[in-house]
Amino acid sequence: MSEYTLINNVRKFRFNCNEMTQQELASKAQVSRQTIVAIEKGKYSPSLELAFKIAQVFNAPLEEVFSYVIHDT
């Protein structure tokens, strides 16, 4: 049986953007810092719109920031 997981590289991208803070990213993506924390920890899968917004902040393609991985269980 296959299981799908949403993997994100938000932390890595923040680090590459001169250690952008979670609050800065949250302001740019027009969400609360708590939402960014939840996304980074993998506790929340963002909507497609928010995922695009975050990717735009990093000026990177969506699939580099978020990826959908299949695990075989």
Partner 1 sequence: MSYQEKKHITSIFTSLLFTVTYCMYIFQQYQNGTLDKIDSLSYWAYTVIIILSVKIGFNILVQIIFSIFHSLLSKEKQPNLVDELDNLIELKSLKYAFITFMLGFLMAMLSAANGMPMYVMFNLLILSFFAAEIVGPSSQVYYYRKGI
Binding residues vs partner 1 (CB under 8 A) = 30-32, 34-35, 38, 41-47, 50
56 Cβ contact list (under 8 Å, min separation 6): none
Least separation in angstroms between residue 48's CB and partner 1 is 11
Chain length of the chain: 73
Q: How far apart are CA 2 and CA 58, in angstroms?
A: 31
Residue closer to partner 1 (CB basis): 16 or 34: 34
Residue closer to partner 1 (CB basis): 15 or 42: 42
Closest by Cα among 18, 62, 54 to 36: 54
Residue closer to partner 1 (CB basis): 4 or 18: 4
